[in-house]
Chain A
Amino acid sequence: MTIRFEEVEHTADRALRIYGRDLADLFGNATAGINSLMLAVSPEDSGCVTKNIELEAVDAEGLLVAWLSELAFWAETESLLFNQIDFIELSPARLRAVVRGVPVQALDKHVKAVTFHNLAIDRRPEGLVVTVVFDV
């Protein structure tokens, strides 16, 4: 089974090492990862709430932070977890997507922030790897 993400130790916060075949796969697995921090058991229901997301950043790392921050924002403010993503456009500095998700009754944890700490997407022959530190 392909590992989508795994937790790595961090003294005060949470850190996930995330894998992906390409940028879309990486962003999808990062979504699953941040969802796992916010709710231990991710909802399996197909999404009934839809949002359009459009983001820009200076580079792919910035875009990943912006993407995950967007998901954290909707979780905190509207108790929504998104688990289906259709990328309309995804380049290193810009994305447009339609996300589908479900409202959840209560989250286990809010992600206060997604950090840029030591953030660098590593491009390997087998795919992409990045470690993201989350302030919880």
Chain B
Amino acid sequence: MLHIRDLRRIDAYLYEIPPSFRPDMRVPARFYADETLIENILGDRSLEQLVNTATLPGVVNHVLAMPDMHQGYGFPIGGVVATALPDGVISPGGVGYDINCGVRLLASQIDVEAIRPHLDDLATMLYANCPSGVGKGGPVKLAAGELDQVMEKGARWAIQRGFGSAADLERTEEEGCLSGADAEKVSARARDRGKGQIGTLGAGNHFIEVDAVDRVVDEAVARRIGLFAGQVVVQIHCGSRGLGHQVCTDYVSLFQKAVRKYGIDLPDRELVCAPLSSLEGGDYLAAMKAAANYAFANRQVLAHHIRRSFEQVLAGKLKHYHLFQIYDIAHNMAKVESHRVGERLVELCVHRKGATRAFGPGSDVLPPVYRDIGQPVLVPGSMGTASWVLVGTEGGMSQTFGSTCHGAGRTMSRHQAKRSVQGPALRRELEAGGIRVRAGSMAGLAEEAPAAYKDVDRVVDVVHGAGLARRVARLTPLAVIKG
């Protein structure tokens, strides 16, 4: 375990572990925290895991972790690691098993006071229409060969099937489809796991949440994005389901041989990797993109179910029940991007595992509607607390390859959470606070108790203070739907 004496404090929110700490480090390791968050960080093995990522071949500048960091496996959750093309490596563990786990934010024109009488019915309808829970498949049936279309077209497939409109694509990272996906690189086993799960939420920390905009911090940007105080919005948090999990499993296994072939020595086998220029590296990237597109399609279908639920409950009772999309982001992904390294623009493979892309104003990959204000960043907090909408900044582009935090970050194991918190009691507590809860598993609810997570306001204070992303609006929950 690292100690505070191993750290060099660079400024109010930035710490560094120099490469002299361990002989196999190729670059420094940096992380963002305040004096409270650092206590959690030093209490688990996340910094050791961050140091391990600094041994990857081709790694540039420094490896990074965000203030919501916590112990994962291989990479820490909250990790950002960039390797230089062509021979820098790509590591499936640097993306995670839930490829393109991410968040979508939909917004209405409804004020929170107008929706209160309908919240119970809305929560029930959302729970009924959005399949969730362990082992729950969805009603969307795929024709023979159609899963390939899902993997190669992503959210566009869903829109062609009638789930949403093209307007959603402009406000989705990568317009809901990564080019270069190759369904042929996805195994039969991954297809078996994913074919019945399209349009489903899953379980664990995935959720749908109806929120109110509790506070607007940046009025001008909020107005541009389409947010106002008291507004009713909806978050979706989920990913690529069993298909993505299996893609990662397949390639972590395959890369156990690849590291021997390419003479790569690693401190943790979960960090296995291959040069992006290699056959293995290219195959993984193509499969990862296919799984990422599945996740974009998944959130697109869920968004359709949510819109349908709003219509079923509110049509004839409230005007303006239609939901428009604010943005959709990924927080488990590897992308080839151009970034400044020293004086040069260099092509890098940027791994973000439990970290969100947060490109600043002027980035030409952003949709025209957001190009001058920066990319919206969606940061879900723990259930029952708060979430945040931020925008990317130039500061983030220069410090963290345009990356920021992804959520609140866990502090307590699932095992401990279930020992300390009773699901039914937690449910009563949330409902007493005005939050409707529809959850398939009380044990699962207990695992996701707010007490198991860091303070998201504090995490966001750090990224805002460090200049990685700017606060726009704070959301608080009205209804939580979970598996």
Contacts and interface: CB of A to CB of B under 8 A. Distances in A.
Interface stretch (B120-128, B210-218, B244-252): B244-252
Given A10-B71, A57-B253, A116-B270, A110 B414 contact: no
B256 interface: yes
A110 to B, nearest CB: 5
A12 B413 CA distance: 6
Given A12-B72, A135-B245, A108 B443 contact: yes
Interface stretch (A21-29, A44-52, A62-70, A84-92): A62-70
17 contacts: A9-B416, A11-B44, A11-B46, A11-B410, A11-B413, A58-B257, A69-B253, A76-B242, A106-B134, A109-B203, A110-B135, A112-B97, A114-B249, A115-B74, A115-B97, A116-B256, A119-B269
Interface residues of B, number: 42
Interface of B: 44, 46, 70-74, 77, 93, 97-98, 134-135, 189, 192-193, 203-204, 242, 245-246, 248-249, 252-253, 256-257, 260, 268-270, 272, 410-416, 441, 443-444
A9 B443 CA distance: 17
Contacts of B253: 57, 62, 65-66, 69
B73 A115 contact: yes
Nearest to A117: B73
Contacts of B246: 73, 113
Contacts of B441: 108
Contacts of B415: 7, 9-10, 14
A53 interface: no
A58 B189 CA distance: 20
Contacts of A77: 192-193, 242
A69 B249 CA distance: 8
Nearest to A40: B443
A58 B252 CA distance: 12
B388 to A, nearest CB: 20
A107 B245 contact: no
Given A13-B414, A66-B253, A113 B71 contact: no
Given A13-B73, A69-B253, A109-B444, 7 more contacts: A13-B72, A73-B192, A73-B193, A77-B193, A106-B135, A115-B73, A116-B252
Nearest to B197: A76
B192 A136 contact: no
A2 interface: no
Contacts of A69: 249, 253
A79 B411 CA distance: 32
Nearest to B416: A9
Nearest to B77: A12
A110 B410 contact: no
Given A117-B270, A135-B97, A11 B411 contact: yes
Contacts of B410: 11-12
Given A57-B253, A58-B257, A116 B135 contact: no
A133 interface: yes
A73 B72 contact: no
Nearest to A61: B269
B68 to A, nearest CB: 11
A124 B251 CA distance: 31
B135 to A, nearest CB: 6
Contact of A76 (B70, B73, B135, B411): B135
Contacts of B77: 12
A46 to B, nearest CB: 23
Contacts of B71: 10-12
* The 7 residue pairs across chains A and B that have the minimum distance between CB atoms: A117-B73, A116-B269, A117-B270, A113-B97, A112-B245, A115-B73, A11-B71
A58 B245 contact: no
Interface in A99-131: 106-110, 112-119
Contacts of A61: 269
Of B98, B249, B256, B410, chain A has the most CB atoms within 10 Å of the CB of: B249
